[in-house]
Structure 1
């Protein structure tokens, strides 16, 4: 853990500078595509005066991305977070330098040319690549590489949004697939290091501050829960539509390199309707929270933004999901607020918490993310109400999250429900076979050969002395060896099998420890010895290990008073 903490200091710094570079690249690309100048000054696409060129510019950017994906690396396609999950679970947490370079560049071109995406998915992939590349410079295990990959992802997200707690929770709920000090502590350190760099690189304070948040009450939390239920349904609908659109692209008789350009035509047409739907849309998020947008614009964000985002992402271009989800959830909840006469900005914040929770299956992340983005930590009870209700709707209706569905379509099904491994909390005494049949140490080898030929049921048996103390283990392999060697068969078992290295376990040993003994020794039946009397009181076989699974299933499914 301490070694990984030391490494996370460098990875956190790399993630912060990676986020800074990504934001600069997005600004440069936006200036080039929409204003025809080379500058890294922050600009808004809605301020450009390109006229009908709004249809052409996204297509040009998407053509560039298609070429980069075809001849560079196809890993740059998609959300970013599913690719990081896949690398963690199936790629030994190894990401290439090519991905670390091409992912932010392609995302900057995508967002800068009007792609309706945010920077969070790309920076999670980029920060993860920085952590993975750093880890690959040293002799580390796949689990340790995973920790540094996730630390880089959390650092990148923290630098972009200024949300260290939400970044840490995202790591726990979506990326780590474990809860261990070895992984948790370095991720926290990386996120805090990135937060320390953020004022110098990006800025300080909440990214989307706004005023007019009501005090928490039962009525507020009930309303937040209602909003959560509705945006949870929205999250299910968006995820379903996204993958149906992706299926339609897969049916096209042209190479996938051209799909982003086709999707960009829809993006450009959406920009003709309302330019607010283009780009990352961070200003639109701020306007939703401020409640300063006209109803027509909110409706356009809700409908047109959804269409262009779904088509663009389904086409396989490079972009993220968090910022678009914030806009779509915020727009939906804002209209609910306008309809019932509530504060539309506060409702938008609740919608943002709910839709992240429902779409990504990350309720803690969704609730805390909305509070950190706005600086309204006193609204955490309300954001939790919205997030948990949206999460409940999502898990009841949708089989997988918007992130894991993409991986499942490649034949890799991921469960996001974490449980403690029964091997870690069950003890050998719980599942062992008690009072096993043993063979006396005084038995001759000839008698043992006859026993295995006519009476033996198991592959091996413990050998004990007069007091029941373990002397060793005799197996069918031993009997076969004795038959082949044709040595003296009047020798006793005590002399033939006595071995001080014979593995054994005590009843209090975790089942996982016994399973490790089996793997290391190659012996499928481990004697269980009483720690006080040193007598053999049981035996644990490979078949007994399956009892641990059965006990866990019974605890989940068997109901009784």
Structure 2
């Protein structure tokens, strides 16, 4: 009776909601813990109170500023290399990959390792953010609970998204933005079934964060509003510029990653070398150390000079790219906010000096720029708008914010399909913009599906011979070849019947070459997605397969659909075995060919 009750609970949304509450609490505690560790390591490396960084840096000798991030890199390099290589980088692409292609499976140790190495990296001066690590930590918590209770692939993915949302919510005290981040970026699915537990997790994580750290504000934002309609002009320019800054950030980041990846040097040593580079840069620009919240706050209050803001943009892009490219651990969200504040500050200073009565203070542009660069880099404008809105609780800034964020997103999406998150996966040959169906079809080579040998005709064969053979064949099309089996084209059964009707007594003068109606084919090394695309584009049921110039076989749409269904069943069966769920809960049986069927029967 107890087992039946537990099974009932597991099969209902109630159990997912209960787990979402637990994930929110644990992720909130994780966020509090990571913030504590960052303050601890920052205090150990640089002194001060572990919060303000720029002031204690002023009293440190130059050589120490250079070696501090190198020491941090030397510590985290071996930890990442030997214990959890998933902890390298900014983490969100790994969560997306796990959610969409790996059934939400993330190793439990990732949460612990990510927390430690990210805190050391940031605390020692790494030019990265804490939000990405909080996303990966929360996602790891959600995945671990899902695997513990042996939930389905879809349920585990939902719990991973709950954890990711909790990380963002706890980082910014922004439960709405955290929820939208999970559905817009991690899941790409706005379904109510997934959205409800995600919201619950975000709220719980925010409550936990409030309980331990109070109703803190990530940034001290003065009240700003749209002064005049004229301001839409500079906000338009800001949106365009923010889009190009985001594109530059993405390009330099992954150029750096590829450069370090191709550098023949021990992987565990590279973070130390990257840290050394950051230390040298920080001798002249100490604002590059850490998450950069102090500098963002200065930009929001209009306290930074135009020349310095112009210097910060390329310097921050380079510093973050080196930190992550060399194998450091941290997020790209805070650097995107940093770049946005600097970019917006530049536009704000210029236009406010030219039109002081028609424009807001430069800080307003810094605030909008934060959202615009995040929107362009992530290609998730809704999340960017809501994060800035929740940070300010200022409805008056929403119009220019939406305006610039949408323009920035349009710039990046029209120039580059991949966001700062999906670009990393694209380099690995993984395209998350495709659906599950496309990923399955692209994984199957045509050679596994095609029929061979097939009925074909030499191009010199006469119509009478063709009719004798073709009318007995189940094929819909017939390839035509030369003496060396080089493919020349094909004709269909419909074309053959048409020729017989039209030619009458002259039909015997017709040879195979005369009735070729198409030359389309697919190479043997192609995948079935490409074959299906060629079939549908040409309105064919079958198409010849060629190996170079030679005929290799035929592939039919019916065969592709059958193999697709079989692959789906295989994946479901694999999940059943892995999760130890009952086979009959997932499928009504699997036909394995030869008249045999795989099923589960009760043992009496």
TM score, norm. by length of structure 1? 0.72
Match of 2:576 in 1: none
Whole-angstrom CA distance in 2 between matches of 1:217 and 1:2: 50
Q: Structure 1 residues 16, 327: CA separation in 2 closer, same or farther (over 3 Å shift)?
A: same
Deviation at 1:296, TM superposition (A): 4.5
Q: Secondary structure at the match of 1:256?
A: coil
Match of 2:111 in 1: 100
Match of 1:369 in 2: 387
**Equivalent residues of 2:243, 2:372 under 8 A apart:** yes
- Give the 5 Å matches for 1:513-552: 520=588
- Give the 5 Å matches for 1:20-99: 20-35=32-47, 41-48=50-57, 49-52=59-62, 53-99=64-110
Whole-angstrom CA distance in 2 between matches of 1:416 and 1:211: 42
Match of 2:31 in 1: 19
Whole-angstrom CA distance in 1 between matches of 2:44 and 2:387: 32
| 1:6 and 2:24 matched | no
**Equivalent residues of 2:240, 2:408 under 8 A apart:** yes
Deviation at 1:23, TM superposition (A): 0.1
**Equivalent residues of 2:46, 2:53 under 8 A apart:** no
Whole-angstrom CA distance in 2 between matches of 1:69 and 1:255: 13
Whole-angstrom CA distance in 2 between matches of 1:171 and 1:373: 18
Whole-angstrom CA distance in 2 between matches of 1:416 and 1:325: 26
Q: Secondary structure at the match of 1:257?
A: coil
Deviation at 1:457, TM superposition (A): 8.8
Whole-angstrom CA distance in 1 between matches of 2:208 and 2:223: 30
Whole-angstrom CA distance in 1 between matches of 2:200 and 2:245: 35
Whole-angstrom CA distance in 2 between matches of 1:220 and 1:189: 38
**Equivalent residues of 2:225, 2:396 under 8 A apart:** no
Q: CA RMSD in A?
A: 2.6
The one-character-per-residue Cα deviations of 1:379-430 (angstroms, maximum 9, x if unpaired) are 22211111110000001111311110101111111218999xxxxxxxxxxx
**Equivalent residues of 1:209, 1:375 under 8 A apart:** no
Match of 1:409 in 2: 427
Deviation at 1:27, TM superposition (A): 0.5
Whole-angstrom CA distance in 1 between matches of 2:434 and 2:246: 17
Match of 2:242 in 1: 231
Gaps of 5+ in 2: 1-12, 353-358, 438-470, 477-564, 570-586, 592-604
Match of 2:269 in 1: 258
Q: Structure 1 residues 80, 96: CA separation in 2 closer, same or farther (over 3 Å shift)?
A: same
| 1:187 and 2:205 matched | no
Whole-angstrom CA distance in 2 between matches of 1:220 and 1:376: 17
**Equivalent residues of 1:216, 1:381 under 8 A apart:** no
Q: Structure 1 residues 335, 457: CA separation in 2 closer, same or farther (over 3 Å shift)?
A: closer
Whole-angstrom CA distance in 2 between matches of 1:179 and 1:376: 26
Match of 1:167 in 2: 178
**Equivalent residues of 1:207, 1:374 under 8 A apart:** no
- Give the 5 Å matches for 1:473-552: 520=588
Q: Structure 1 residues 120, 177: CA separation in 2 closer, same or farther (over 3 Å shift)?
A: same
- Give the 5 Å matches for 1:12-411: 12-35=24-47, 41-48=50-57, 49-52=59-62, 53-204=64-215, 206-215=217-226, 218-341=229-352, 342=359, 343-411=361-429
**Equivalent residues of 2:52, 2:294 under 8 A apart:** no
Gaps of 5+ in 1: 420-452, 459-511, 524-561
Q: Secondary structure at the match of 1:273?
A: coil
Deviation at 1:521, TM superposition (A): 7.2
TM score, norm. by length of structure 2? 0.67
**Equivalent residues of 1:288, 1:334 under 8 A apart:** yes
